[in-house]
Amino acid sequence: MFDFFSYLAFKEAYRANEPYPTNRPYVRVEHVSRARGVLFLRLWVSHPTSVAQTTSTTTAVVVRLIVNQQGAIVFSPHAITITSGTPVRIVNKTPYGRFLVVNGQLFHLLPGAALRITPTQSEVVSICGGGGTLTITVV
């Protein structure tokens, strides 16, 4: 004869000895929430972000991220002088995504993407993980 209470006792004892209890509902919820967090981070990081979007008739100064002869990713040109309010467009011409630090903020620049900034004071833009720096002098 089937003893339901013995079955429940056996089932609980078996679950207590599992190294990683995958059948419990709270573990499944934890996995789902962790997966959603990873998905959110991937979507958040994968979108290029611009610092300041302005609509103006001023022609932007274009600076490119390129791979130099030594194989390093650098800015071309590495230094520019502009007047205050002139937009600077940084274009990634490499086949690699790169993180840039602009005014203490981190931006992910995908291959072929562009970042538009409008500096009002002199600043330095750097590539994370080594590489070059872009010196912007505002006069």
pLDDT digit string (tens) for the chain, length 139 residues: 556 666 666 665 555 555 555 555 555 555 555 656 555 555 555 555 444 444 445 688 999 999 989 889 999 999 999 998 899 999 999 998 999 999 888 999 999 999 999 999 999 999 987 778 999 999 9
The CA angle 15-21-23, to the nearest 5 degrees, is 90
**How crowded is residue 85: how many other Cβ atoms within 10 Å of its Cβ?**
12
**Contact (CB, 8 A) for 84 and 138:** yes
pLDDT given for residue 78 in this prediction: 93
Q: What is the model's pLDDT at position 42?
A: 57
